[in-house]
Amino acid sequence: MAFFTDVPKIKFEGPDSKNTLAFRHYDESEIVEGKTMKEHLRFAVCYWHTFRGTGSDPFGPGCNLRPWEDGTDSVEMAIKRVGVAFEFFEKLGVPYYCFHDRDVSPEGKNLKETNANFDKVAKALKDEQQRTGVKLLWGTANLFSNPRFMHGAATSCNADVFAYAGAQVKKCLEVTKELGGENYVFWGGREGYSNLYNTDLKRELDHLAKFFHLAVDYKKKIGFGGQFLIEPKPKEPTVHQYDFDVANCVAFLRGYGLADSFKLNVETNHATLAGHTMMHELAYASMCGMLGSIDANRGDLLLGWDTDQFPTDYYLTTQCMLVILGQGGLANEKGGGGVNFDAKVRRESFEPIDLFHAHIGGMDAFAVGLKLAAQIRKEGVLSDFVKQRYASWDTGIGAKVEAGQAKFEDLETYMLEKGDAAKNVSGRQEMLENIINRYVR
Ligand code: XLS
Ligand code: NI
Ligand code: NI
């Protein structure tokens, strides 16, 4: 049964097209830096916002028009919704999707029934994956919506909740493996605190690390070959989320002996909530060899929360793609990460067609970013400048320091003889910004 009957398969029509249901920049087969756009961008649609988002906000209930919904949270509805989702993925032409266990399948009256529901829906997902060729970029467990997780999951003060969360992740790992998921994501949910008066910080962090170790053990046991990813976020819903930002996650993973088993899934709106640019977060993760995947969205300059809007800004997408191309992409031999639209339409955009416009815009914006970043790299405008800027480290005293061949005494001898440091050269920030505007125009 078709649900989006008035929407054709979305095609590339070129930059001059006025068709709002066509790509102007995303031509999946266009080659950029030796790979197709499809291979570079590895787009994914997220199940939660796109198929479970209701449009509710703290000031009002859901208002989205979703004609296929029957108003129940039944397994039958879940299976019907799988059909809707895959029709959407196919028409949009995305190679991947992502889900939380509870987006795709409803909770039962106990864990056993919940797991049985999940198996039924997973079968429907698998059938649709086989029919369409659309693949699972990542699965994750929702460890935050049910009231049992009010104090967190792995960091709950209630040991039974830790146990429930472990059982839930175990099942979600099995299903993700069964569906060929290329990654498995841990986003912190309610892992954090709202007040230190009632919080044993050390115990909670130790428990979080314990939980990750148990997940790594189980991954090995079942032979799940996907990549584990942690998704940093500094706040919301708690005032302090433990997976605060990239640097914090890297330090946590290293401190608890987990760094070899995880990479990061970096989200734009989480970066900005942490007071960073997305480019900073990506560059930091990439520098540590831990940039695995991205959640593509954006916040709003005027709102201080996770608005999860669709990305439309070419500077943003160009900066993302500069870092991603700089590390040779998100893909690897086993699959790899992708560009997942963890983004939702605004409450005013309540019709199904808005879901298409939103994704088309995001995909086009990333296609532009990819092309511009490739051009900037080809012409070497940034890399040549940066190389030159650090040239003093390539020879002489700089090279000696980097090679570990200079002690403080040597620095003193060198400088006593020379008398003063060589003259500084301008960082030319404004010139570089102008150069970038030659491309983004
Ligand atoms: C919430 C997160 C969430 C993760 C998946 O802010 O972005 O949607 O991506 O659990
Ligand atoms: Ni988010
Ligand atoms: Ni996210």
pLDDT given for residue 439 in this prediction? 97
Between vectors from CA 343 to CA 360 and to CA 26, what angle results, nearest 5°?
25
Respond yes or no on whether the N-terminal peptide bond of residue 232 is cis (omega within 30° of 0): no
Could you tell me what percent of the chain has a pLDDT over 90?
Answer: 98
Average model confidence (pLDDT) for the chain? 98
Q: At what angle do helices 352-379 and 429-439 cross, to 10 degrees?
A: 120
How far apart CA 7 and CA 87 sit, in angstroms, is: 10
pLDDT given for residue 333 in this prediction? 87
Q: Summarize pLDDT for 235-283 with one digit per residue, the tens.
A: 999 999 999 999 999 999 999 999 999 999 999 999 999 999 999 999 9
pLDDT given for residue 410 in this prediction? 98
HSE (side-chain half, CA atoms, 13 Å) at 116: 7
Could you tell me what percent of the chain has a pLDDT over 70?
Answer: 100
Q: Summarize pLDDT for 190-218 with one digit per residue, the tens.
A: 999 999 999 999 999 999 999 999 999 99
**Around ion ligand 3, which residues have CB less than 5 A away?**
267, 295, 342
Residue of the nearest CA to atom 4 in ligand 1?
Answer: 187
Nearest ligand to the CA atom of 191: 1
Strand ranges for 198-326 from DSSP E: 227-231, 240-241, 262-267, 291-295
Which tokens belong to 23? 């790509």
How far apart CA 75 and CA 181 sit, in angstroms, is: 22
CA dist list (Å): 69 to 64, 98, 183, 355, 361: 10, 20, 29, 15, 25
How far apart CA 430 and CA 118 sit, in angstroms, is: 54
The torsion angles phi and psi of 54, rounded to 5 degrees, stand at: -110, -15
Which tokens belong to 395? 């020879």
DSSP labels, 200-212? -HHHHHHHHHHHH
pLDDT given for residue 441 in this prediction? 85
> What 8-state DSSP symbol labels residue 8?
P
Cα 13 to middle of ligand 1, angstroms:
33
**pLDDT value at 1 more than 90:** no
HSE (side-chain half, CA atoms, 13 Å) at 401: 12
Active-site option among 25, 49, 101, 103: 103
Q: Which of 114, 289, 294, 141 is nearest to 218 (CA)?
A: 141
Residues 89-109 as b/e (b if ≥16 CB within 10 A, e otherwise) read bbbbbbbbbbbbbbbbbbbee
pLDDT given for residue 365 in this prediction? 98
The response to whether residue 174 sits with its C-beta less than 6 Å from ligand 1 reads no
Active-site option among 25, 49, 100, 207: 100
**pLDDT value at 340 more than 80:** yes
Cα 274 to middle of ligand 2, angstroms:
12
Q: Summarize pLDDT for 28-69 with one digit per residue, the tens.
A: 999 999 999 999 999 999 999 999 999 999 999 999 999 999
**Where does the pLDDT of residue 371 fall: very low under 50, low under 70, confident under 90, or very high at 90 and above?**
very high
> 280 an active-site residue?
no
How far apart CA 60 and CA 412 sit, in angstroms, is: 67
> Is residue 329 within 8 Å of residue 35, measured between CB atoms?
yes
Cα 231 to middle of ligand 3, angstroms:
7
pLDDT given for residue 334 in this prediction? 85
Helix (H) or strand (E) holding 432: helix 429-439
How far apart CA 349 and CA 317 sit, in angstroms, is: 23
How far apart CA 131 and CA 127 sit, in angstroms, is: 6
The response to whether residue 140 sits with its C-beta less than 6 Å from ligand 1 reads yes
> 40 an active-site residue?
no
Q: Summarize pLDDT for 89-100 with one digit per residue, the tens.
A: 999 999 999 999
Determine the distance from the C-alpha atom of residue 390 to the mean position of all C-alpha atoms in its chain, rounded to a whole number.
32
**Where does the pLDDT of residue 230 fall: very low under 50, low under 70, confident under 90, or very high at 90 and above?**
very high
> Length of the chain in residues, anyone?
441
Number of C-beta neighbours around residue 328 at 10 A: 10
* Average of per-residue pLDDT across 158-175: 99
The response to whether residue 101 sits with its C-beta less than 6 Å from ligand 1 reads no
Torsion sign, CA atoms 50, 53, 54, 57: negative
